[in-house]
Structure 1
Amino acid sequence: MKALVDKFAGKIAASGLAPATGEGAPLVAGLDAGVVWSRDSDQIHGVAPLFEALPINSLAWCRPSGSYGHAVRHLAAMAVRKGVGSIAPQDSETRTFLHDIPVVMAGDSEALALALGRRKGVILHDPRRGPALVATGSVSPEQCFVTVSSMAFACFVAFFGQALEQVRAGGMGAAFRAAFDAAVAALAPMEQASPELMAGPFHDEQTVRRAMDQAGTALVRRGLVDSFFGNISCRLGNTLFISQTGAPLDELPGLIDPVPLDGSTCAGLTASSECSAHTAAILASGARTLLHGHPRFSVILSLYCEERETCSEAGRCHVACRARRDVGGAPVVPGEVGTGPTGLSRTLPPALAESGVAVALGHGVFALGELDFRQAFARLEHVERTARQAYFVQIGMQDAI
């Protein structure tokens, strides 16, 4: 268990979600014969009682750093000031996984336990020392890492999205402007050189699996997806090799399923929840590879619409949007995971077949590669780079790009 809690504490820090050292560094715990902690911390006495109060087997605590920290701090402070008790970002991860993010005052152990009894993660608001993210899991510390990264991502998207809304409404207030400027100053620049990925086409299963592992790791290292979100697939003959549902893209060996494209077996039962969309897109386009990531500025711009206040489908944009928009040159399509009437398996393939890349509204970027992952990766990264540039042009901060 010690190796496991250390691993996920390290992943939280390596993802840039929290500082690697110091008081705010990740603290991860798992229940074995007793509770095992990743490190000693003054925070243990405040969160250890949760193992008695709740049916949990794991826990993570950290102070978000960089841009994430500024976003979380401001959103939490606003929620407390307004007395609403939670924040509700509109990205896909929040809608399907978090629902909302409760905000609790630091030191209120009873409120923390109550909030974690109904949600996977909570923001602890501490005006003096800064906010903290707390997440619990019923099985493994892995669940805590997923929740922490989801909360940080959702807050980033919500905060930077609010900046656009305020600019459209006439300008940012002084407090928001100060938080926004600090968040922008903490943004890491995008890498310019393309990652070195294997050239295709691929002719055997072993090579396909190695190429998928390499591309998935590159997506995570470039910050284009959190480790346990997004998915990746590659066609070999009449078989689609696809990452399993919930598989960390930077740890894919052993977590890739071969799924017959004719649906002749149930091999896809453990495959990504978006397997149907991947299959339909590959068949419709003739491409061999597909990458799906959650790059932040692409998601932010996909959620931003100047017609929301007058649109009859406002509030249902992610499944009902009919406006023709693009982000970074990629068409924006509505759709939810699955094969239903508004599923991505219906909305995504036509857009991908036409453009090679598309943005699922509030969800992320899907990109095809004709022979290998090099083209798919370049398309996905180009959309995010262009979206980031367009965002700061709209904000009026071209120098921040």
Structure 2
Amino acid sequence: MKRLCDKYAGKLVIQGLAAPNAPLIGGLDAELVWNREDPRTTELAKVFDALPINSLVFSRPAEPYATIVDFLAARHPETIRPKDTETRTFLHDIPIFENFSADSIIAGLRKRKSVIIPGHGIASFGTVSPEQGFVFYSSTIFSCFVLFFSEYLTKARHGALDKEYRRVFKDVVAQLPAPRTELPALPKGPYTDEDTVLAAMAEAGRQVVGYGLVDSFFGNISYKLGQVIYISQTGSSLDELEGCIDPCPMDGSATTGLTASSELTAHEDVYRQSEEAICILHGHPKFSVVMSMDCPRAECDNRGQCHIKCTECRTVEGIPIVPGEVGTGPTGLCNTLPPAMASSGAAIVHGHGLFTLGHTDFNDSFRRLLDIENRCRECYFETVGAYE
């Protein structure tokens, strides 16, 4: 358990979600252990006595996320309610408690996956592994980032910005890392055998996470070899795909799809409609998600259900934005994503993330993923600038 606590504390730092020596992760096995010594663990240990958990993640976010989280908590003193897919999937909403205490954390985590204590940090938990707490912590930061920038753009569009939001926005923007433009050297394709496919997928997944084009480690990746789609398993870590990739025959002649990504059906239909495509990358790059949620319409019958019912033909820099839920069904991505991908080679799903095709290998799809995210970032600031 100590090894897992150390591992996910390290991931928080590597991904820029927490400063070095900031994360506190406790794990309960035969005994309660922590990734490091800290006087606050005495108070945090009380959480294990009150909740059916086996791990707890607590940390002050790194900048600019700490500023974003504290600002939103001040604006929404009881509960933050982001509208992105990560929130709908994992968080629902994010409770706020003013005092750093076991009682506050327990009260928040009894109902939700994470709790924010302004000025102190974010607490989340796992019932099986510290990995769950890592995911919930990361998703909280991702959702707050998207909400902060989305709200700012909406307020700018409607002339509703106040001095405090402008000041904090300027401070946050000054702390954003510069966009990455260099590309990784991924294995060149096309790949002709299973071992090569698996190795190429694992490396592409590592780079997607390493470039910050995901939330925590989520997303999915696939490669079509003949009539078999190799796809990452549901819930797998894109930076640790070894042993977590399923070969799924397109004729449904195997049961491997049972553990495959929940978006397998969408991938299959993309390949059917884009016959020259051989690989797909799906990440959750932040500004692509922010821009997917931007809408100039003041009135709309589908307000609040944009992610499944939007009928507007919207694009960002020529990349289509489509609604759709994870999985199948009448509002599933399998209905909206394939035709959009066939026409443009990429598509952004409202509040969710970005999908890109490759026709030779993952170098193609990764280049598109990074380029579109950088274009969305530029578009965001150009749009904000037009209203300020």
TM-score (norm 1): 0.94
Aligned to 2:86: 93
Taking every aligned residue pair, what percent have the same amino acid on both sides? 49
Aligned to 1:16: 16
Aligned to 1:244: 233
SS of structure 2 residue aligned to 1:48? helix
SS of structure 1 residue aligned to 2:253? coil
State which of 250, 256, 269 in structure 2 corresponds to 1:280.
Answer: 269
Question: Are 1:220 and 2:206 matched, yes or no?
Answer: no
State which of 193, 196, 211 in structure 1 corresponds to 2:200.
Answer: 211
Aligned to 2:108: 115
Paired residues of 1:27 and 1:62 also in contact (CA < 8 A): yes
Aligned to 1:29: 26
Over the aligned positions, Cα root-mean-square deviation in angstroms equals 1.3
Any idea what the Cα deviations from partners look like across 1:253-291, whole Å, max 9, x if unmatched?
011111111111211111111111111111211211000
Question: Are 1:142 and 2:139 matched, yes or no?
Answer: no
Paired residues of 1:334 and 1:347 also in contact (CA < 8 A): yes
Amino acid at match of 1:197: L
Amino acid at match of 1:160: F
State which of 274, 283, 290 in structure 2 corresponds to 1:293.
Answer: 283
Paired residues of 1:28 and 1:61 also in contact (CA < 8 A): yes
CA distance in 2, matches of 1:361, 1:370: 25
TM-score (norm 2): 0.97
State which of 73, 81, 85 in structure 1 corresponds to 2:70.
Answer: 73
Paired residues of 1:298 and 1:328 also in contact (CA < 8 A): no
- Structure 2, gaps ≥5 residues long: none
CA distance in 2, matches of 1:224, 1:397: 27
Report the Cα offset of residue 328 of structure 1: 3.3
Aligned to 1:151: 140
Q: After TM superposition, list the pairs within 5 Å mapping 1:302-317 onto structure 2.
A: 302-307=292-297, 309-317=298-306
State which of 345, 354, 359 in structure 2 corresponds to 1:370.
Answer: 359
Aligned to 1:361: 350
Paired residues of 2:198 and 2:242 also in contact (CA < 8 A): yes
CA distance in 1, matches of 2:195, 2:214: 24
Aligned to 2:221: 232
Question: Are 1:38 and 2:35 matched, yes or no?
Answer: yes
Report the Cα offset of residue 397 of structure 1: 8.7
1:171–1:17 Cα change, 3 Å: same
Any idea what the Cα deviations from partners look like across 1:310-339, whole Å, max 9, x if unmatched?
111111100000111112321000000111
CA distance in 1, matches of 2:27, 2:318: 45
CA distance in 2, matches of 1:131, 1:152: 14
Any idea what the Cα deviations from partners look like across 1:121-174, whole Å, max 9, x if unmatched?
11112xxxx240100111100001101110000000000111101211215211
